């Protein structure tokens, strides 16, 4: 309760900052300023309502309040960032413009207009089905039988108050149409308890691949009740890998698929500390080794353990501007294919979204990875 109150105070101060810096410079007199003040007040009210609704029992009303709160958060995040950038630009250019009224009015209108446009475009990007991204990963000494082995990766779907059954079913249909050799689900699948979201994750039971569907936990599974979700996903037919591996036999060649618990799992359950070395213990020598790990931060331990490829998510690629530039402060890689010594790491931008239904500069993806021999 204390943290929520502090958050509401901070949001109130930020709304006040935007109002003081933008509303007086809007052209159109008191009518425009009043309309802007009402929009700011509505944003704050919906964000506060959504914050309380997320902690309340699920109902049609709380779901609608949560959606409205997230939409408002997406709009206001752009509004406050653009206001800050405008203030910096006005400060830098003051000596040349001498505080021109026309420039101040034009820039104030631009801030409001760009925030609304960014929110609308970001919403459309977030709500459409994720695009298919095709990636080839060159592995040294790949057996000829594994040339072209395909992995469909989905990550960070975040089934919850705004991502529901139809959204999940569309993802499942797109993955099955790829006819992959295996499916990897790299964490943060859900944002709520099993009792509330089981009907909306049910389409995952229809996922199909030659060698099955594999899942590793993300940090949000622990927020939502990891033990219950592991049981539910196993019931749906997903193979949950928790610091363990399986050996796939494909056209006479062996392929090791390992999975670790989330990088932060030990904060929730000390017995579930993420351990790539334990996950690969006892695996056959000479077989290619692939690790499923929710966070890119597992890469250093994965490289030491002798993995050749790590599949991760977690970052969302930043999800929308300008946060795409800040992910590297917390993770070693943001998105796409990277190399760490002898380890390749592929980081998905995520198949859904978290929080505001908004994607700008970081499109969602369903990834189809193909293994090819390094040349």
pLDDT digits (tens, 9 = 90+) for 323-338: 777 787 888 888 999 9
User: Contact at 8 Å (CB) between 293 and 312?
Assistant: yes
Phi, psi of 302 (to 5 degrees): -65, -40
Task: Tell me the pLDDT of the chain averaged across its residues.
Answer: 91
What are the chain's domains? 2-127 (no CATH), 131-373 (3.60.21.10)
Residue pLDDT, tens place only, 234-245? 999 999 999 999
User: In this model, does residue 264 exceed pLDDT 80?
Assistant: yes
Given this model, what pLDDT does residue 33 score?
A: 86
DSSP of 164-219: -HHHHHHHHHHHHHH--SEEEE-S--BSS-HHHHHHHHGGGGG---TT-EEE---H
Q: Which of 254, 323, 326, 322 is nearest to 289 (CA)?
A: 254
**How does DSSP classify residue 355?**
S
Q: Is 84 helix (H, G, I), strand (E, B) or coil?
A: helix
pLDDT band at 97 (very low <50, low <70, confident <90, very high): low
Residue 77 burial by CB count (10 A; 0-12/13-18/19+): exposed, middle or buried?
buried
Give the contacts of 177 (CB within 8 A, at least 6 positions apart): none
What digits encode the pLDDT tens for the residues 45-96? 888 887 777 766 777 788 888 888 888 888 899 999 999 999 888 888 765 6
Whether the per-residue pLDDT at 299 is higher than 90: the answer is yes
Q: In which element (H, E) is residue 150 found?
A: strand 150-154
DSSP for residue 139: E
In 3D space, the residue among 141, 88, 121 whose CA is nearest the CA of residue 285 turns out to be 141
pLDDT of residue 327: 80
Query: How much is the pLDDT for 1?
Result: 54
Residues whose CB is less than 8 angstroms from the CB of residue 300 and which lie 6 or more positions away in sequence, other chains included? 332, 340
Q: Percent of the chain at pLDDT above 70?
A: 97
């Amino acid at each position: 309760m204390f943290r929520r109150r502090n958050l509401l105070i901070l949001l109130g101060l930020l709304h006040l900052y935007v109002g003081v810096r933008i509303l007086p410079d809007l052209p159109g007199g008191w009518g425009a300023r009043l309309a802007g003040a009402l929009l700011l007040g509505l944003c704050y009210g919906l964000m506060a309502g959504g914050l309380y609704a997320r902690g309340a029992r699920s109902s049609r009303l709380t779901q609608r309040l949560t959606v409205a709160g997230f939409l408002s958060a997406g709009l206001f995040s752009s509004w406050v960032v653009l206001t800050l950038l405008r203030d910096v630009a006005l400060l830098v250019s003051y000596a040349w413009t001498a505080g021109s009224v026309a420039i101040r009015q034009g820039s104030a209108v631009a801030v409001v207009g760009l925030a609304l446009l960014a929110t609308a475009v970001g919403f459309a990007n977030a709500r459409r089905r994720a695009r298919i991204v095709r990636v080839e990963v060159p592995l040294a000494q790949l057996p000829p039988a594994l040339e072209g082995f395909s992995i469909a990766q989905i990550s960070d779907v975040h089934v919850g108050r705004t991502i529901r059954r139809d959204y999940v079913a569309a993802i499942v249909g797109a993955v099955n149409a790829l006819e992959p050799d295996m499916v990897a689900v790299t964490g943060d699948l859900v944002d709520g308890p099993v009792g509330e979201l089981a009907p909306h994750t049910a389409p995952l039971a229809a996922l199909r691949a030659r060698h099955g569907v594999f899942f590793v936990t993300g940090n949000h599974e622990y927020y939502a009740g990891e033990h219950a979700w592991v049981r539910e996903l196993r019931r749906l037919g997903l193979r949950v890998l928790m610091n363990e591996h399986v050996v796939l036999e494909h056209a006479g060649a062996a392929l090791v698929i390992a999975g670790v618990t989330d990088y932060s799992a030990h904060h929730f359950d000390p017995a579930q500390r993420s351990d790539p070395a334990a996950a690969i213990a006892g695996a056959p020598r000479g077989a290619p080794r692939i690790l499923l790990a929710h966070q890119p931060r597992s890469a250093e331990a994965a490289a030491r353990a002798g993995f050749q490829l790590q599949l991760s998510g977690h970052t969302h690629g930043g999800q929308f501007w300008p946060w795409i530039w800040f992910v590297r402060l917390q993770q070693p890689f943001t998105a796409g294919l990277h190399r760490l010594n002898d380890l390749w790491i592929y980081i998905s931008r995520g198949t859904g979204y978290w929080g505001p239904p908004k994607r700008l500069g970081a499109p969602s993806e369903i990834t189809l990875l193909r293994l090819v021999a390094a040349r």
